[in-house]
Structure 1
């Protein structure tokens, strides 16, 4: 539970505005309605455009809660210090604080938590029993650099954006396999091929082959947390290329 979030603030405000409109229509006998779009515009201005807006309020509230829990600790935390901190907390508190850090990272970018932790926030730390999972043995991260041109595989015309977020995947012989939901094929990712990109983020995106070899996949970003139990938490984004038709992939 993240507590305060941008969506929750907007939903609460919209709900209150609906009540306000209903009461206003009843009070005026629905004779004048010009005030409805005016009030909505004013509400949007107050909550989204002005310097003090819901995005800033949410960010500050989440950071304040996290920093309060990290009092007397040296920041930013290293991976080892973060895992030790998570292990020292009750499972519910660890999940809540880790979730808030992940929310900040997703909505405001890695820079929003750089002064708190020095690495990418893992999305899932609790295991099925509710205990904190501290068995992450390796983290791999890459994002396509800005301004880097890439070549479209020869013979392919269409591309489909694929996003898979926080997928629990098994590893076999150093390889992660992620099935597509819209075609009968599977993306095979060898970890050895990803490590150079994790080490040198200036490299161009990696082009992978699916198991059937029919659809090249350009991996533009990945966040992979490899655990000691032979599984991995995988978040990837990239483009799958197709020769004949555009395939619509639902983003998860």
Structure 2
């Protein structure tokens, strides 16, 4: 694997599982030092990176809390001295309900983690990248940030918000050397999808049939899109929301 991120530093939120874990490992295999942040203490991602010969640090962080996000970025700088890339991936699906049945508590929790959390991360990441004069941020939206999904008003609104926030932040930083993009995963084989399907093979088959490509995506396929958007190969790409969805929204 070419070490295109040698001596660079990346933060991955929601890095303990699924897409976050796959992306943290993808950064590390390309030479980056990786900060894995998650509200759930789990060292499997950092242990995997270290076993591969890389450098990694776990930081417990609830991205909906400003003091914890600020501390996460400060710890990154004090440990590694710089910040080059960020994948703001932490998110929750919340409970399923129609718009009128969705509770205020459910709505607030989803928005606070999925949208406010992305905003807080960029709020503290961008000043460090501006000091270096260069950086790349990728936010994790969803196909639910591009189309509607019945029964998921909070999740859909939060991910549409991430797409809009990504565009605004990209424009604000376009001339400052910092690119900001988003990935919009489709149905990816992750713990979140397992919770949604209840690990039912029948429900999973319904999702597979809904995917034009005929299968669920793998976390590593989203990770590769994040790596591309952070790399110099995407040097003229900013403000973009990239579907990684097997053709879902093309239908």
TM-score relative to the length of structure 1: 0.25
Larger Rg: 1
Which structure shows the higher strand fraction?
Answer: 1
